[in-house]
Amino acid sequence: MRRPLSLTLAATAVAATSLAATSLVATAIPGVPVAAATPDTVRWGPCSEKAASSRLEKAASPRLECATLEVPLDYRDPDGRQIEIAISRLASGKPSQRRGVLLTSPGGPGITGLGYPAVLAASGLPRKVLDSYDVIGFDPRGVGRSTPVTCDLTPEQQRRGNLPPYAHTAADVAREAGNARTIAEQCATSRTARMLPHTTTANTARDMDRIRAALGEPKLSYLGASYGTYLGAVYTTMFPGRGDRIVLDSNLGPGGYDVTATRLFARGLEDRFPDFAAFVAAHPEYGLGTTPGQVTAKFFDLAKRLEAKPVQGYDGNLFRGITFDALYSDANMPQLAKTWQALDTDRPTPPNPPLVNMENFMSARFSVICGDNRWPETVREYQRNVAVDRLRHPMLGGSSAGIGPCAFWPDKRVEPPVRIGDRGPSNVLMVQNDRDPGTPLAGARKLRRAFGKRATMVTADQGGHGVYPFGPNTCANDAVTTFLTTGQRPARDLACAAEPSE
C-alpha cells in the first residue's frame, strides 16, 4: 500500500502442524535458523506521541502500550549485530475471553504500523475481536521507531515519489535511468547501507516470529493489509505451524511487490476509475463532464495540459499520482473532484497534507522491494514494458512500467524470495475488493491459486483499497469477524454482492 488506509489496507480446523513439518519449511532457506523459541520479557510502557502518525491514531492511542525488542540484523548470525523492533499492544478488554494475540500490519512497505491497533479500534474493529485478542502493532525493520534505514533522499527526490515519471518515449525511459541509478547508489552508500541485504520481507517475517516468542505465545493470529498480505503469506509459508488465524486483506500476488505487481498499478487504476467517473458524472456542479466517457476524456486532457504547463505546482505526474492515491477510498472522491475542478479552471486547489517522514518511507520501501526480488536490469527491457503498458493501460502504464532504483540495486541478496505454496494448514482467509487500484483482483487471484487448499477467498463487489473493517460491505466484514472469533470460514470461495452505501 502506498499510504496508510486512513489516508494516500465449511468450518476450518486450524490443524496443528507437526514440529517436523514446521522445521522442514522454516529452514528451507539454507543456513538461516528459525526464530528463537525462548520468550523474552517484554516491558510495556506508554507510547510516545511519535507512535501516532495520524489524528485517528492519537484519538485512540492513550490505551496503546509500547515496547522494543532486539532481533538479529542478520539471522545467519543470530548472536551478531542486533537491531530494534518497536512493538505496540492494545490489550484485550476482557482477559477472560482472550484467546491470543492478533499481529497487524497496515502494509507498505515503509509504513509505520505502531499505531495501527489504535486505527483499527477507532475504525470499527468489532468489540468481540478486541476482546478476543491483544492487538499487536509494530514498525517493521528499517521503519519509523524500529532501527530505520535511509537513502539520504533529497527533498526533490522525495517530491518525485515512488513511481517514475510518465514515459511517452523510449528516450524518456533512458533519461529517467540516471535518476534511478543515483538513488540506488545513495542507498548503497548511506550510513545504513549495511542493513540493505537484510531489510527484506523474509527477515521481517522472522522478526514477527521473534515477537510471537517474546510474548510467550505458541501461535499468532494475523491481520495484514496490502503489502501486509505478502508479509503474512511469507510468514505462514516459513512458519506454517506457528500461525493460528491468518487474514490477508487487499492482496498482492505471490511475488509480492515485484515488477509484475508494480506494473499492475496501471491495471488497478483502470479497474477503479469507472467508479470515480460515475460519481463525477452524477455531480455536474464540478463541470468535469456529465457522462463517464466525458470524465475519462477530462483525465487525459488535464494530464496533457499539466505536462505542457504545470498549474500551482501540479504537473502531469503529480496529477496522475494524486488521482491514483485518492481512489483508494470512496471518501476521497469529492476532494479529488474539487482538485480536478481547480486545476481545470486554474483556481486554488484544496489542501493536501504531506505524508509524515517521507524520506524514511521511501528509503524503506526501496530497500524491501529491491531486496526481495530481482528486477530487470537493462534500460531496454523497461522501454519495452513501457511501450506495451502505455498502450494497454494509458492512464498510468507509462509510469508504473518505468525504470526505478531496483534496476541498479547492489547485488548483495543473501537468499532467494520465499515461494508461496500450498504446504501447511488450511488457515488463511483472503478478502478482496473487486476494484482495488493498489492491489488489483488479478494479483489476488494468483495468490489464491498459489495457496491452493490453504486459503479461502471472499471478494466484495466494491471499489477501493482495504476491506476490513474500513469498508461498508457487511457480507465481507462479517466473514472476517466470524473467522477471527470462531475459526469458521466460508465453506468455499465467496463473492459478496454490492451493498448500498449509507
Q: Would you name the residues annotated as active-site residues? A: 226, 436, 465
Backbone torsions φ then ψ of 103, nearest 5 degrees: -80, 140
On whether the CB atoms of residues 336 and 326 are closer than 8 A, the answer is yes
Distance CA 89, CA 114 (A): 9
289 to 44, 125, 407: CA distances (angstroms): 55, 38, 40
The answer to whether the Cα torsion of 102, 108, 113, 115 is positive or negative is: negative
Own/partner long-range contacts of 382-389 (Cβ < 8 Å, ≥24 apart): 382/173, 382/177, 382/407, 383/170, 383/173, 383/174, 385/259, 385/263, 386/167, 386/170, 386/172, 386/173, 387/170, 389/263, 389/266
The strand pairing partners of 247, in sequence order, are 223, 429
Question: DSSP 3-state assignment of 69?
Answer: strand
Q: How many CA atoms does the CB half-sphere of 82 hold within 13 Å? A: 8
Contacts of 20 (CB under 8 A, 6+ apart): none
The answer to whether the Cα torsion of 442, 447, 453, 454 is positive or negative is: negative
Q: How many CA atoms does the CB half-sphere of 254 hold within 13 Å? A: 16
**Cell numbers found for residue 137:** 502493532
Return the number of other C-beta atoms located less than 10 Å from residue 416's C-beta: 11
Distance CA 421, CA 448 (A): 10
Print the SS3 string covering 127-194. Answer: HHHHHHEEEEEEECCECCCCCECCCCCCHHHHHHCCCCCCCCCHHHHHHHHHHHHHHHHHHHHCCCHH
Closest CA relative to residue 406, chosen from 227, 246, 183? 183
Task: Quote the strand ranges of 436-489, DSSP E.
Answer: 455-463
Closest CA relative to residue 169, chosen from 384, 410, 330? 384
On whether the CB atoms of residues 252 and 28 are closer than 8 A, the answer is no
